[in-house]
Amino acid sequence: MTINRTLNCAGQLLDLSRPRVMGVLNITPDSFSDGGQWLAPEPALQQALRMVEEGAAIIDVGGESTRPGAAPVGVREELQRVIPVIEALREHCAVPVSIDTRKPEVMQAAVQAGAGMINDVTALQAPGALELAATLGVPVCLMHMQGTPQNMQEQPIYRDVVSEVGRFLQQRARACLDAGLAREQILLDPGFGFGKTTLHNLLLLQQLDTLVQQGYPVLVGLSRKSLIGNVMQLPVDKRLYPGIALAVLAVWQGAALVRTHDVQATREAIEMCHAVHQAGRSE
User: Which among 280, 267, 274 is positioned nearest to 57, based on CA atoms?
Assistant: 267
DSSP 8-state secondary structure symbol assigned to residue 237: G
HSE (side-chain half, CA atoms, 13 Å) at 204: 30
Reply yes or no on whether 259 is catalytic.
Answer: yes
* Closer by beta carbon to ligand 9MG, 141 or else 255: 141
Q: Is 119 in the site for ligand 9MG (CB under 6 A)?
A: yes
Answer yes or no: 103 catalytic. Answer: no
Q: Which of 117, 123, 143, 244 lies at the binding interface for ligand 9MG (CB under 6 A)?
A: 143
Which CB, 245 or 275, lies closer to ligand 9MG? 245
Cβ closest to ligand 9MG, residue 93 vs residue 141: 141
In the region spanning residues 2 to 61, those forming contacts with ligand 9MG, defined by CB under 6 A, are none
102, 225, 239, 267: which is the annotated catalytic residue?
A: 225
Give CA–CA dist 215/187, Å, rounded.
9
CA separation (Å) from 224 to 14, 188, 256?
25, 20, 19
DSSP lists the bridge partners of residue 152 as none
Residue among 168 and 192 whose Cβ is closer to ligand 9MG: 192
| Gap between the Cα atoms of 259 and 241, Å rounded | 15
In the shown chain, the binding pattern of residues 242 to 271 toward ligand 9MG, with x for contact by CB under 6 A and - for none, equals -----------------x------------
Span from 87-95, 148-156, 186-194, 269-277 in contact with ligand 9MG (CB under 6 A)? 186-194
For ligand 9MG, how many residues bind (rule: CB under 6 A)?
A: 13
Q: What angle do CA 106, 109, 112 make, to 5 degrees?
A: 145
Q: Which of 48, 82, 93, 100 binds ligand 9MG (CB under 6 A)?
A: 100
User: b/e per residue, 201-214, with b = 16+ CB within 10 A?
Assistant: bbbbbebbeebbee
Can you give the binding site for ligand 9MG, defined by CB under 6 A?
62, 66, 100, 119, 121, 141, 143, 189, 191-192, 219, 221, 259
